[in-house]
Every structure is written in structure tokens, then in C-alpha cells.
A and B are shown apart, each in its own frame.
Chain A
Amino acid sequence: MPTQTAAFFRVEGILVDRGALAASAFFASNAQGFTERAFRLGAVALGAPLYGLLAQRDPTLATRAAYAALRHMGEDRIAELADEYYVEVLSERIYERGRELVKQARKDKHRVVLLSEGIEEVVGRLARELGVDDLVCNHLEFVAGETTGKLLEPIIGGHDGAAWAKQFAARNEIDLSRSLAFAARAGDLLLLSAVGRPCAVNPDFALRAAARDADWPVLEYR
């Protein structure tokens, strides 16, 4: 019989207002050398509309596309830029209300789990700062000290949040019916449906409609 409860937080839109594409653009604009920067930024710019189009239909592919521009970038640069990106960009954009939600969840003895389409190098710091229990995020593939631009499986960001949450619950004896989930995009509908206490936060159009139909609470603080 599961004894614990969890609070699942989608990072993007709930805790911070920056997604994978913003991080990728930051990395690209700080690549080694001016020519490389121009090419990579061009690749991100070209990928941006694709990302926008795919975000609703196939978020997994959209997340993949967001990081493709980092192909052949060195591991050291990625790590250092991730640090810089976190300190200079992301940490300035953490929603205070989001931080409070995490705090409250911890206070209520929920196991706090962050789900993010971001890469470990970036969101790892956020997880440490918020003091959460688990972080589920993407991992870049590295070969001989360079990233291939591919993400390692399983890719976080798709519609499979619910399946993942169920597996996680089974592994850790979590009672999903008493657990919470906070999400901002329609891509996380299944995740929200899988828990007993879902909450739509700063929802996009589709999620707002679904939340209204399902009578889920909606929080707005963006």
C-alpha cells in the first residue's frame, strides 16, 4: 500500500519563464568564435518556428530540435555556459509564486519532483537551489568531449509525463490519488489526469479549456 505522496512540477511555465529554446539560443550565441556563433544562432533562429509548430503536436520532437544547434559544442563550454545561463538569466526569472508552491509542497510532506525539458547542466542548479527531492530532465549526448546535439532517451517534454509519473509512483510507493501535479501546457494533460490533485498554472489555451471542463483549479501569476 503506497504511503507517500508527491508533488510533480513542470519547470517551464510554473517555476521559470524560459524554455529549451532560450537556453539553446544562449549557448549558440556564446559558442567558440564568431563564425561558429553566427552559424549556431542561425540554426536556432531557423529552428524556432519549427519548435513553435511542434510544441503542441509533438513536444518530444520540438525539444530535440531545440538542442540540435549545439552539435559539436564542447562539454566544458556547455557546462560553463550552463552555469552562466543559470546565474545570469534563469535565476533572475524564477517565479516567486512558483517557489512558494514548492515550499508549500515540501511543508505538506510531499515528495517534490521537478520535470523539465531543460538539460541537467542548467536545471540541475535550479533543483539544488529549490532543494527538491527528484529532478527528471534531459541529458545531452556527449562523444569524445563534444555533444552530438542529440538528447539521451527518455526525452522529457513529450506527452509521456503520465506514464513516467505512474512508473515513478510504483517504484517509490507513491499514492498518485493523493498526489499533486502542476503544469502549464496541454502537453501535460495526461500527467495532470494521472494525479488526484491537478493544477493548471499559467495555462496555455488548450490546457485552460481542459482545466475548465475538468474543473481543475487554475493559478495565474505570470
Chain B
Amino acid sequence: MTEPVSIQKALSGRHILFTGASGFLGKVWLSMILDKVPEVGRIYVLMRGKKAQGARARFEQMINESYAFAPLHERHGEELSRFLSERIEVVSGDVSRPGLGVEPALAARIQQRLDLVVHCAGQVDFNPELQEALQNNVEGTIHAAEFAAKAKGAGFVQVSTCFVAGNREGRILEQAIPGYAPNGKSFDVEAEFAHLKQLAARIDEENSSEQALAELREELVESVKKKGHDPNNAHLIDRILKREAKARLADRLVEAGKERAAVWGWPNLYTFTKSMSESLLLARFPELPKTFFRPAIIESALSFPLPGWNEGLNTSGPLAYFVGTWFRHLPARKDKPLDVVPVDYCCAALIAAGAALIERRAKPVYQCATSDRHPLTVGRGLELTSLAHRKHYRNHGEDAIERIFLSRWDSRVVSDDHYMSVDNMRKLAQWVADAFKEAPESLPKRLRAELKKLGSKSDRIDKRLSIVEKVVDTYKPFISDNRQVFACDELVGLAVDDPFFHYEPRNLDWRRYWIDQHMPGLRRWSFKLIENEKIELYSPKVPVQLSEVPLERGARAGASKRRARPAQASEVAE
């Protein structure tokens, strides 16, 4: 029997380059490794500076404002600045640029002592603009891998997604197949990559051609005229033209990406580009010691940094929000596994995978999913969501309508063609709006005015339903299409000495997690985004300020000194 991987031993004194620290997963990974493995060497955090804010200032703001770092603030208090300055070096860079946009001398210094690259950065929108997705997901991965390859012997963890499997049914194994396409057709990743780049450039060119702009100008002049504005107002027309041209380009780039993904059998551009990244890594970096870490749907924390912590809008967020409104009928497949993983479960496993790679004991692919060992179906997820809303409205409803009626307004999974489907409800709302707005003249004036008011209300309902329709459509691959079960045997089988880092989805109590942690977490941090409310920020007693120059941990044994590294890529467990 092989010895379990010792997380502390494997990571102690190791130097890691980390990309994507500002993301949901990235924040928790960074906070967790610093909290649970404080003897880790230097973590180079690659960050993009923003307009008026350098990378370091942006990092400090993140540490000081995000609840993800609350455990570190609580543990170290005013010593946290020093603790971080000894372990973190913020590196200004950008994954979309060659060499990660890192200044060459600095890059060489980092590469000299690098043990591991954890590449977590990427575009996580499901259907971004084609160019953006290529730059951030595909080129970003290549740049990060090139960076790792230059640091001789460093391992590379590519954070991917289970959904690279695309539109396929059944059990998906933990395999990385070069030139993989879900539709089974021969897929030349290099040719496709070149084609997509050309496609994006062509769309850009076509959209900004004189002819296209002239046609758009004509359309705009007509529309301005119709709205009763002055069509000769060149300043106004130019302003709208600029905005419209940009929007049209964005739409076309999004559509082109979606179409191309569909051709090969991926549900969206996100999964398509993530899969391309895997294929390109296999093709271009055969010698690089690497592992693909594929999480399923990452959701609120179970316990770290604190129960229910969430950020932004993850997959279940918008759906869970709408289920808490008067919207009742969710078109989905009741028995499809929802495949949710709490973010801290995922990060603990990601740290373990990194440790295993450093020890050259990592498997080529780790799938971090729950559908295989402890599935939560869409039907159960929806029921738990309804029950969580019920609990909230009964105890904290703002008025009697919420406490008595909305709390009992349970949602149900229905088929696409259900008579109460979103589409049919929209049609009904439109019909009501039209009928009420054009009430017969024979009716009394006051009644007509009231009906008109109701008609406008129906208009608003229609608009709301169109948002719901879009959300449902976006998340269709996760709740309706492709009944997939993602194997996670490799991750469960990854023996580690510390139970905190061992991945075992069977330990999850879905009911307690969903009702007591996940849903309150969404309500606290995510629903507010949909409602355009201010998000609650963490406020530490002593804000962190990193030292100008990263500090060395002089006396600390094992730290800052590069340790002997186990052998090369060929030794990575197959």
C-alpha cells in the first residue's frame, strides 16, 4: 500500500505561482492554503492592475474586503500584514499576454525557484465574446503552461471543468483525451484554434468596415427620426453609432462562439474553450508534469472561510432567486444530477492535487464532482430551494403576503412544453398587456385607465419573465440537458494524511448544507447582486498592508529554501 500524501510535507517551503486569485474559487484556495498550510513557501499571486490601482493595491483591497480572508484576519490580527508579506508576492501580469505579461527579469527570478503553477484564471461566463474567451481561456492557459515549462521541473495544475465533456450522456470518466470533441468527430485542436482566431478577427473587421458602419448609421438615423429626435444631430448619431457598433460586435462574437461550440457538441463557449485548453496542453506540453483538475458546479462554502460564503452569481444563484419569487414552473429534468460541490470541498481537493503533483504522484485528471458518489438531483435541489425560501419567508418575510402566501408558493420541475412554461406565461402576459392597453372605447373612462395600468404591469411581468427565460436557457445544460455522472474515483482515491484535504462527497448532508448554509449564503451575498443592492464587505480590525518588498522568513526552517524536487514528467502516475 502506498503512503498517503502528506500535505504539509509536500507543500512546506514550496513556491507556487497562482493565477485567478480574484475569482470565487481562487480566493478560497488562497485563503485556505495560507490558513491550513502556513509553512508553504512563496506564493506568487498573478494579478492584473486596474486603471488607477496597481496589482498590489488591488490584492490588498481584496484581502481587506472579502470574507474569504476572514479566517486569516481572525487568526493573525495585526500580524497578518507581516504573515502575508512573508508568503505572498503579488506579481503584476495578465494571463492573456505572452509570458503572462510579467516583466522578464522578474519572471526569470520566479521561474528559478518555482515548484508548482496553479492556473485558475479564466473567463467563467458561459457565453462570452469569442475573442475574450480565446484570450483568457485558451491563450491564458498556454501562457501559463509556457511559464511553468520554463521553470524546469515545476508542475502544472490546470483548473478546468467537468463540463468539458460537452453534450454527452452517461458516466464520464477521469480521462484526458487529446483532440477530444463531444460529437466524436475528428477534432484538430490547432486547426480549430487558428480558425477561431481568424473568425473573431473577420467578424471584427466586417463589423468595423465602412460599409457596415454606413448601414448602421442609416438605421440609426431612421430610428432617431422615429423617436422624434433631430436626425441631423451628428454628435448624437456618432455617440449612438459607437455604442451600437460595439454592442453589435459583441453580439456577433457571442453568437459565433456559441455556434462553433454547438458544431462540435459543447453546450457553450466556456466549456468549449476549456476543453480546447486541455487538448492544447496535451499536444504542446507533453513533458510538462501536469494534472487537470475538473470541478463540477462550485457553490457556497460548507465551512471555510465561513458557512455559506459565496460571491457573485454561480449556477444555482439566479435560479434559486427566481424560485423564491412568484415564478413556479422550472423546465428541467427532475432526475438529472445537479452536481454541486461546495467551494471549500473543491479547494481542499485542489490543494491535495497540487501536493500530489509536487510529489509526482498525481493522476492526469481529477474530477471534483458529487453525481457519482452522492448525487443531488435537480428535483431535490429545487425542493430544498423551495423549503429554504419557505423557512426564510415564514421567519423573515417583510409582509403578510410573503409570510403567508409566498412561503407556500413552492416551485416544481416541469417539462419544456408544460402549459405553465415560461414561454406560455410570457405569451399570456403579452396578451393581457395588449388587451388591457387597448380596452374598448365603450368602457367607462376610469375603468379603461385602470385596465391600462394593469396592462403596464403585465408589461413589467413580461420583461421579468424574459429575464427568467434567459437564465433558464443559459443554465439548461446543467439542469435539463445531458444526464451525466462524473466519476471522481481518482480524487476519492487520492490518499492524504490530513482528513481535511481528503475528498469524500458522501460526507455531505445535502439538506443541512442547502437549507442552512447555501441558501442563506446566496441570500446574504448573491441575491443582492440581482436586486442591485450593495454587497456586504468584510471589515477587518487592522487592514492589511503588504510590505513594499516581500519579506523573507529567515529563521523559519524549511521556508524560502527551495527543496529538492522529485523527478520529471514521465514519472507522473498514469
Contact = CB atoms under 8 A, between A and B. Distances in A.
For chain A, which range describes its interface: under 10, 10 to 19, 20 to 34, or 35 or more residues? 10 to 19
A77 B511 CA distance: 10
Interface stretch (B117-125, B350-358, B379-387): B379-387
A4 interface: no
Contact of A79 (B410, B412, B511): B511
Contact of A80 (B380, B387, B408): B387
B514 to A, nearest CB: 9
Contacts of A77: 383, 387
B390 A145 contact: no
Contact of B412 (A33, A76, A84): A33
Given A30-B408, A32-B410, A32-B412, A76 B383 contact: yes
B563 interface: no
B58 interface: no
A74 interface: yes
A92 to B, nearest CB: 15
Nearest to A88: B394
B522 interface: no
Contacts of B412: 32-33
Interface in B497-521: 511, 515
**Most chain-B CB neighbours within 10 Å: which of A74, A77, A80, A145?**
A80
**Looking at chain B, what size class is its interface with the partner chain?**
10 to 19
B410 A145 contact: no
Nearest to B407: A30
B511 A32 contact: no
B507 to A, nearest CB: 18
B515 A74 contact: no
A160 to B, nearest CB: 33
A32 B411 CA distance: 8
Given A76-B387, A77-B383, A33 B410 contact: yes
Contacts of B373: none
A30 B387 CA distance: 11
B390 A80 contact: yes
A15 B511 CA distance: 30
Interface string A18-52: 00000000000010110000000000000000000
Contacts of A76: 380, 383-384, 387, 511
B316 to A, nearest CB: 16
Contacts of A32: 383, 386, 410, 412
B562 interface: no
Interface in A49-79: 74, 76-77, 79
A84 B394 contact: yes
B410 A80 contact: no
Contact of A74 (B383, B390, B408): B383
A73 to B, nearest CB: 10
Contacts of B390: 80
B384 to A, nearest CB: 6
A96 B354 CA distance: 59
Contacts of B515: 80
A33 B413 CA distance: 11
A77 B383 CA distance: 8
Interface string B400-425: 00000000101010000000000000
Contact of B380 (A33, A84, A145): A145
B391 interface: yes
Contacts of B511: 76, 79-80
Nearest to A145: B380
B9 to A, nearest CB: 42
A27 B380 CA distance: 18
B370 to A, nearest CB: 15
Nearest to B511: A76
A116 B515 CA distance: 28
Among B380, B383, B515, the most chain A Cβ lie within 10 Å of the Cβ of: B383
B145 to A, nearest CB: 44
B520 to A, nearest CB: 14
A76 B511 CA distance: 7
Contacts of A84: 391, 394
Contacts of B387: 76-77, 80
Nearest to B410: A32
Contacts of A74: 380, 383
A79 B410 CA distance: 16
A14 B176 CA distance: 65
B160 to A, nearest CB: 31
A187 B396 CA distance: 43
B323 to A, nearest CB: 12
A77 B390 CA distance: 11
A86 to B, nearest CB: 14
B82 to A, nearest CB: 47
B332 to A, nearest CB: 15
A30 B391 CA distance: 12
Contacts of B410: 32-33
B493 to A, nearest CB: 28
Interface string B207-218: 000000000000
A74 B386 CA distance: 12
Interface string B349-393: 000000000000000000000000000000010011011001100
Contacts of B386: 32
Please provide the 7 A-B residue pairs with the shortest distance between their CB atoms, ordered closest to farther.
A80-B387, A32-B410, A76-B511, A76-B383, A74-B383, A76-B384, A33-B410
Interface of A: 30, 32-33, 74, 76-77, 79-80, 84, 145
Interface of B: 380, 383-384, 386-387, 390-391, 394, 408, 410, 412, 511, 515
8 contacts: A30-B408, A32-B412, A74-B380, A76-B383, A80-B390, A80-B391, A80-B511, A84-B391
Given A32-B383, A79-B511, A80-B387, 7 more contacts: A32-B386, A32-B410, A33-B410, A74-B383, A76-B387, A76-B511, A80-B511
